[in-house]
Amino acid sequence: MRLRKRPHLYGIDINIAPLIDVVFLLIIFFMVVSQFTQMEIEALELPQATQGDRPGQPLDRQVILNVFADGRLMIAGQPYDHQQLTWLLQRKTRRIPAGEISVLIRADRATPWRQVRELLQLCAAQSIQHVRVAVLDADSEDL
């Protein structure tokens, strides 16, 4: 049996096929996640404000409450009433400390303030301290 001698190859070959697969999966993941975050935001005509704070980094455990002018309450595309919202917030505060939960209230411009006030009181009853109300500034950018 005669063995052939292989020439010594100096250098390293890098197979980039797995790298391309991983990058492709990451692109798909970020596209899907961005679609989920857009589902939480309903098309509302927000009130305008002359002063306000720019939103900082939202907490990981953020709940976005969309309140329509007719009083409907939507969370992530699902309708909720005040009893269901109370139950949802109680369940979240049992699993996660209330200080780590953030609530963003996006109320339509025509929504009576008493409905927003009820939501604020509901969050206070659950000891949720990070509550914000979304508005538009003069340049029509979210605050």
User: Which one has a higher pLDDT value, 133 or 98?
Assistant: 133
Contact call for residues 64 and 74 (beta carbons, < 8 A) = no
For the cut 60, the answer to whether the pLDDT of residue 18 exceeds it is: yes
Q: Is 102 exposed, middle or buried (0-12, 13-18, 19+ CB in 10 A)?
A: buried
User: Which one has a higher pLDDT value, 45 or 121?
Assistant: 121
Contact call for residues 53 and 87 (beta carbons, < 8 A) = no
Averaged pLDDT, 57-80: 80
Query: What pTM, to 2 d.p., does this model score?
Result: 0.62
pLDDT digits (tens, 9 = 90+) for 77-116: 888 888 998 898 888 888 888 778 888 888 888 888 888 8
Domains of the chain and any CATH numbers: 61-133 (3.30.420.270)
